[in-house]
Structure 1
Amino acid sequence: MLKQRILTAAALGLPALALVAWGPNWAVLALVALVLGLATWEWGGLARLENPLARGALVAAVVVPVVALGLAPVAGLHYLILGLVLLWWLVILLLLPFYRERETAAPASSRTLFAVAAIMTLVPAGMGLVWLHALAPLLVVYLVVLVGLADTGAYFAGKAFGRNPLAPHISPGKTREGLLGGLLTVLAFAIVVAAVWGLEPMDAMVFLLLSVLIGLVSVVGDLFESILKRQAGEKDSGSLLPGHGGILDRFDSMVAAAPVFLAGLLWLALIPAPPVAA
Structure 2
Amino acid sequence: MTKTRLLAALIMAPIAIAAILFLSTPWIVALAAVVFLAGLWEWFELAEIEDTLARTVLLVAHLALMVAIVWASRSASGYSFVLFQLASVIGVVWWLLALLWLRHYDFASNHETWARFFKLAAGALAVIPAWCALAWLHGTEPNGHIWLFTALAVVWAADSAAYFAGRHFGGTVFKGRKLAPRVSPNKTIEGLLGGVIAGVLVGIGGSLLAGASAAQVPLVALVALVAALASVVGDLYESLLKRHAGVKDSGHLIPGHGGVLDRIDGVLAALPVFAMGKAMFGF
Partner of 2:119: 114
Write the deviation string for residues 41-86 of structure 1: whole angstroms up to 9, x where unpaired.
1111111111111101221232222233245232543333222222
Partner of 1:56: 56
* Correspondence 1:97 to 2:110: no
C-alpha distance in structure 2 between counterparts of 1:138 and 1:192, whole Å:
11
- Judge conservation of contact 1:25–1:130 (CA < 8 Å) in 2: yes
C-alpha distance in structure 2 between counterparts of 1:143 and 1:249, whole Å:
18
C-alpha distance in structure 1 between counterparts of 2:161 and 2:115, whole Å:
34
- Judge conservation of contact 2:151–2:203 (CA < 8 Å) in 1: no
Q: How much does 1:196 deviate?
A: 4.7
Q: Which runs of 5+ in 1 are unaligned?
A: 271-278
| Distance change (3 Å), C-alpha of 1:131 and 1:70 | farther
Partner of 2:94: 88
CA RMSD of aligned residues (A): 1.8
* Correspondence 1:17 to 2:23: no
Q: How much does 1:33 deviate?
A: 1.2
Partner of 2:43: 43
Query: Structure 1 residues 69-78 or 235-244, which shifts more?
Result: 69-78
Q: Which runs of 5+ in 2 are unaligned?
A: 74-78, 172-176
| Distance change (3 Å), C-alpha of 1:187 and 1:86 | closer
C-alpha distance in structure 2 between counterparts of 1:99 and 1:203, whole Å:
38
Matched to 1:8, the amino acid is: A
Of 230, 242, 245, the match for 1:229: 242
C-alpha distance in structure 2 between counterparts of 1:105 and 1:90, whole Å:
23
| Distance change (3 Å), C-alpha of 1:17 and 1:82 | same
Q: How much does 1:176 deviate?
A: 0.7
C-alpha distance in structure 2 between counterparts of 1:186 and 1:243, whole Å:
22
Q: How much does 1:195 deviate?
A: 4.7
The within-5 A match list for 1:135-146 is 135=140, 136-146=144-154
C-alpha distance in structure 1 between counterparts of 2:148 and 2:187, whole Å:
26
C-alpha distance in structure 1 between counterparts of 2:7 and 2:67, whole Å:
30
C-alpha distance in structure 2 between counterparts of 1:77 and 1:173, whole Å:
38
Q: How much does 1:247 deviate?
A: 0.2
TM-score of the aligned structures, taking structure 2 as reference length: 0.89
| Distance change (3 Å), C-alpha of 1:26 and 1:108 | same
- Judge conservation of contact 2:154–2:200 (CA < 8 Å) in 1: no
Q: How much does 1:6 deviate?
A: 1.6
C-alpha distance in structure 2 between counterparts of 1:162 and 1:109, whole Å:
38
Q: How much does 1:188 deviate?
A: 2.5
Partner of 1:243: 256
* Correspondence 1:176 to 2:176: no
C-alpha distance in structure 2 between counterparts of 1:216 and 1:147, whole Å:
9
Matched to 1:232, the amino acid is: A
Write the deviation string for residues 93-131 of structure 1: whole angstroms up to 9, x where unpaired.
2332231488x8421221122112111110111111112
The runs of at least 4 consecutive aligned structure 1 residues that moved more than 4 Å come to 194-198
Matched to 2:152, the amino acid is: V
* % identical equivalent positions: 38
| Distance change (3 Å), C-alpha of 1:8 and 1:75 | closer
* Correspondence 1:150 to 2:132: no
TM-score of the aligned structures, taking structure 1 as reference length: 0.90
Matched to 1:183, the amino acid is: V
2:187 alignment partner, SS class? strand
Write the deviation string for residues 191-249 of structure 1: whole angstroms up to 9, x where unpaired.
43345556333201101111111110100110111111011101000001011000000
| Distance change (3 Å), C-alpha of 1:3 and 1:134 | same
C-alpha distance in structure 1 between counterparts of 2:23 and 2:211, whole Å:
24
